[in-house]
Amino acid sequence: MRLIVMFDLPVDTSEDKRNYRKFRKELINEGFLMIQYSVYARVCVTKQSAQFTENRIKTFLPPRGLIQTLTVTEKQYNSMHFLVGDQKDDVRNTSDRTVVI
């Protein structure tokens, strides 16, 4: 199961930019991977853990802007079409239970 976070944040003032940087960094610290600009995804084992992660995100939201989340199943996520470009090759982008490095 994947939790996808999509956002548009204002970057007009230096305070806006700081809020944006802080939010993005926190997302990465939560284990999210940038699958493209402003779109982040993370593997969650169950629906509960997706909910849990979303609740954690709610603790560091910036004051303004637009942030949306979407939960999709593993199957739905993997059937995503790549019209141009390729999938990110990253451990965080797989759901394998055993990862060999």
Pick one of 8, 31, 47, 66: the residue that binds another protein (CB under 8 A).
Answer: 31
- Under DSSP, the state recorded for 15 is H
Q: Least distance from C-beta 38 to another protein, angstroms?
A: 19
Residues 86, 19: Cα–Cα separation, whole Å: 30
Residues 78, 67: Cα–Cα separation, whole Å: 23
According to DSSP, the β-strands at 2-8 and 33-36 are: unpaired
Q: Does 97 bind another protein (CB under 8 A)?
A: yes
**Binding-site residues from annotation for Mg(2+):** 8
Instruction: Please report, as ranges, the residues that interact with another protein according to CB under 8 A.
Output: 1, 25, 28-31, 42-43, 45, 49, 74, 90-92, 95-101
